[in-house]
């Protein structure tokens, strides 16, 4: 149910719940659809051209992004994560972050990056007001890392980026590792060993059937329990309570006090019932599910201003009934799906 939006104030004046009773709390916003990597599970080089990317004019500009985020906050969003493609390729990103950081009602401002350009930008991102960082890191082995980036990345750059982020004042950085059986499952223990005791939080993510170009197969998925058991056998773990209801990662702590690890189990243990997340692509399309076939163009409402936009978002959200991961493998879950690099994870 969407209540009327009656004010231009950016603080929430309406609470939109979808058809399954889920409020809108969390926004992932892609600031660019281009990437300097070609990770085979996301943007395989043989399917996505080197020069892939919207022309700059098709991307929302900073004024539009600010209005858009204010509109989402008005409908109930409290957490914003900037993503891509690779968000650090977006020109003048710190300027955008400073504008978003000043929006009243937004409690959390985070960003996900592959880390390749992080060393040179970490300080500016922090100074601009970015609160939290996630760095994707699928392997420590340099040859495997390069292969997993589609031949583009250097693990030394990602590690230097993490060190620079630490030096810039980012605490508890999240490190995302997508595990694929037979590809990088040998990296689980080296990664866990590397980040134990670092104060950062390594998270293992089940390989998902996002989009239609990555050749996903269920045989490649390593269920989180298997990863957890492998780590537990080496460094005993104990379950930790979630930070809040609907937290995507299940948390475990090292019994010897070496910090924590997380598991994102959207294939083996779907969490659609607690999914409060909307996604917006760099050209302003709203996707109400990571596996949605189609987006809703927000630009016409955006041109009418924040109150009209908020009303429009609330209407779209109240019509939402997505629960792809719970329906995976059934006829109801077949058909076209948006690509991961357009909506950013
Ligand atoms: N380029 C940035 C990066 O890689 O961190 C941000 C965008 S990327 C699409 C966001 C996250 O999605 C990354 O952590 C990536 O590993 C993850 N991802 C991409 N394809 C995936 C898939 N098929 N299954 C699970 N996670 C995936
Ligand atoms: Fe680029 Fe991130 Fe996708 Fe890799 S996962 S291709 S770094 S957008
Ligand atoms: Fe949310 Fe869709 Fe993922 Fe379910 S499948 S958790 S509804 S994004």
Task: Look at 96 and 2; give whichever has higher pLDDT.
Answer: 96
Residue with the smallest CA separation from ligand 1 atom 4 is 114
Token readout for 124 is 């500016």
What integer pLDDT is reported at residue 249 of this predicted model?
95
Look at residue 10 and tell me whether its pLDDT is greater than 60: no
> What crossing angle do the helices spanning 306-318 and 62-75 adopt, rounded to 10°?
50
What integer pLDDT is reported at residue 335 of this predicted model?
78
Name the least confident of 110-119, 310-319, 329-338: 329-338
Look at residue 157 and tell me whether its pLDDT is greater than 80: yes
CA separation, residue 19 to residues 24, 71, 120, 190, 273 (Å): 12, 21, 44, 43, 11
Question: In this structure, which ligand is nearest to the CA of 36?
Answer: 2
Which atom of ligand 1 is least distant from the CA of 176?
A: 14
Distance CA 278, CA 333 (A): 19
Give me the mean pLDDT over the 315-324 stretch. Answer: 94
The region, left, alpha or beta by phi > 0 then psi within -120 to 50, assigned to residue 179 is: beta
Which of 119, 121, 70, 68 minimizes the C-alpha distance to 91?
Answer: 121
Question: In this structure, which ligand is nearest to the CA of 274?
Answer: 3
What integer pLDDT is reported at residue 74 of this predicted model?
96
Token readout for 291 is 């596996």
Distance CA 278, CA 22 (A): 11
Which atom of ligand 2 is least distant from the CA of 114?
A: 7
Strands 285-287 and 296-297, bridge-based pairing: antiparallel
Number of residues that make up the chain: 345
Task: Look at 158 and 335; give whichever has higher pLDDT.
Answer: 158
Token readout for 160 is 């230097």
**Ligand 2 in contact with 343 (CB < 6 A)?**
no
Which atom of ligand 2 is least distant from the CA of 35?
A: 1
CA separation, residue 257 to residues 199, 203, 204, 236 (Å): 11, 17, 19, 10
Look at residue 164 and tell me whether its pLDDT is greater than 80: yes
Look at residue 18 and tell me whether its pLDDT is greater than 80: yes
Distance CA 139, CA 137 (A): 6
What integer pLDDT is reported at residue 8 of this predicted model?
46
Give me the mean pLDDT over the 296-300 stretch. Answer: 97
C-beta atoms surrounding 253 within 10 Å: 15
Whole-number Å distance, alpha carbon 237 to ligand 3 midpoint, is 28
Instruction: List, for residues 22-33, the tens digit of each pLDDT value.
Output: 999 999 999 999
Instruction: List, for residues 35-90, the tens digit of each pLDDT value.
Output: 999 999 999 999 988 888 888 889 999 999 999 999 999 999 999 999 999 999 99
Give me the mean pLDDT over the 291-300 stretch. Answer: 95
Whole-number Å distance, alpha carbon 296 to ligand 3 midpoint, is 17
High-pLDDT (> 70) share of the chain, %: 96
Give me the mean pLDDT over the 135-156 stretch. Answer: 98
Which of 262, 259, 274 minimizes the C-alpha distance to 200?
Answer: 259
Token readout for 292 is 């949605």
Whole-number Å distance, alpha carbon 278 to ligand 3 midpoint, is 9
Token readout for 42 is 């996301």
Residues whose beta carbon lies within 6 Å of some atom of ligand 3 = 266, 271-272, 275, 277, 289-291, 322-325
**Ligand 2 in contact with 85 (CB < 6 A)?**
yes
What integer pLDDT is reported at residue 7 of this predicted model?
43
DSSP state of 43: S
Instruction: List, for residues 172-229, the tens digit of each pLDDT value.
Output: 999 999 999 999 999 999 999 999 999 999 999 999 998 888 889 999 999 999 999 9
**C-beta separation of 39 from 180 below 8 A:** no
What is the DSSP annotation of 44-79?
Answer: -TTTS-TT-S--GGGS--HHHHHHHHHHHHHHT--E
Which atom of ligand 1 is least distant from the CA of 209?
A: 23
Distance CA 50, CA 38 (A): 9
Residue with the smallest CA separation from ligand 1 atom 12 is 345
149 band by pLDDT with thresholds 50, 70 and 90: very high
What domains appear along the chain, each with residue ranges and CATH number? 26-343 (3.20.20.70)
Instruction: Please name the residue that has the structure tokens 């996002």.
Output: 210
What integer pLDDT is reported at residue 319 of this predicted model?
95
Look at residue 309 and tell me whether its pLDDT is greater than 90: yes
**Ligand 2 in contact with 159 (CB < 6 A)?**
no
Distance CA 162, CA 160 (A): 5
Taking only Cα atoms into account, the Rg of the chain, rounded to an integer number of angstroms, comes to: 19
**Ligand 2 in contact with 43 (CB < 6 A)?**
yes
Q: Residues 268, 269, 271, 272: is their CA dihedral positive or negative?
A: positive
Instruction: List, for residues 80-90, the tens digit of each pLDDT value.
Output: 999 999 999 99
What integer pLDDT is reported at residue 50 of this predicted model?
86
**C-beta separation of 247 from 235 below 8 A:** no
Residue with the smallest CA separation from ligand 3 atom 6 is 272
Q: What is the pTM of this model?
A: 0.95
Out of 206, 323, 333, 340, mutate this one to test ligand 3's pocket (max ligand atoms within 8 Å of CB): namely: 323
Distance CA 126, CA 238 (A): 33
At a CB cut-off of 8 Å and minimum separation 6, what does 107 contact?
78, 79
13 band by pLDDT with thresholds 50, 70 and 90: low
At a CB cut-off of 8 Å and minimum separation 6, what does 304 contact?
none
Give me the mean pLDDT over the 241-245 stretch. Answer: 90
**Ligand 2 in contact with 33 (CB < 6 A)?**
no
Mean pLDDT of the chain: 93
What integer pLDDT is reported at residue 212 of this predicted model?
84
**C-beta separation of 89 from 282 below 8 A:** no
Q: Residues 79, 83, 88, 89: is their CA dihedral positive or negative?
A: negative
Which atom of ligand 3 is least distant from the CA of 325?
A: 5
């Amino acid at each position: 149910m969407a209540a009327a939006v009656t004010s231009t104030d950016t603080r929430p004046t309406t609470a939109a719940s979808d058809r399954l009773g889920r409020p809108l709390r969390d926004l992932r916003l892609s600031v660019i659809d281009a990437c300097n990597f070609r990770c085979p599970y996301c943007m395989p080089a043989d399917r996505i051209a080197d020069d892939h990317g919207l022309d700059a004019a098709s991307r929302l500009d900073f004024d539009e992004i600010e209005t858009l985020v204010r509109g989402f906050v008005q409908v109930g969003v409290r957490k914003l994560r900037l993503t891509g493609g690779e968000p650090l390729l977006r020109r003048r990103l710190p300027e955008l972050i400073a504008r978003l950081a000043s929006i009243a009602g937004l409690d959390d401002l985070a960003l996900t990056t592959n880390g390749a350009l992080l060393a040179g930008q970490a300080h500016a991102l922090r100074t601009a007001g970015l609160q939290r960082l996630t760095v994707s890191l699928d392997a420590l082995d340099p040859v495997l890392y390069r292969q997993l980036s589609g031949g583009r990345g250097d693990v030394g750059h990602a590690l230097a980026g993490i060190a620079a982020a630490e030096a810039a004042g980012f605490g508890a950085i999240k490190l995302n590792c997508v595990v694929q059986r037979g590809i990088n499952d040998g990296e689980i223990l080296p990664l866990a060993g590397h980040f134990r005791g670092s104060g950062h939080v390594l998270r293992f993510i089940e390989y998902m059937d996002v989009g239609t170009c990555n050749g996903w197969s269920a045989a490649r998925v390593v269920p989180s329990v298997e990863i957890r058991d492998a780590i537990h056998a080496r460094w005993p773990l104990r379950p930790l309570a979630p930070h809040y209801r609907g937290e995507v990662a299940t948390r475990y702590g090292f019994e010897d006090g070496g910090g924590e690890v997380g598991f994102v189990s959207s294939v083996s243990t779907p969490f659609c019932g607690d999914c409060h997340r909307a996604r917006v692509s760099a050209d302003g399309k709203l996707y109400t599910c990571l596996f949605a076939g189609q987006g809703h163009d927000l630009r016409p409402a955006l041109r009418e201003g924040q109150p009209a936009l908020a009303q429009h978002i609330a209407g779209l959200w109240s019509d939402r009934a997505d629960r792809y991961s719970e329906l995976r493998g059934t006829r109801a879950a077949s058909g076209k799906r948006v690509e991961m690099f357009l909506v950013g994870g």
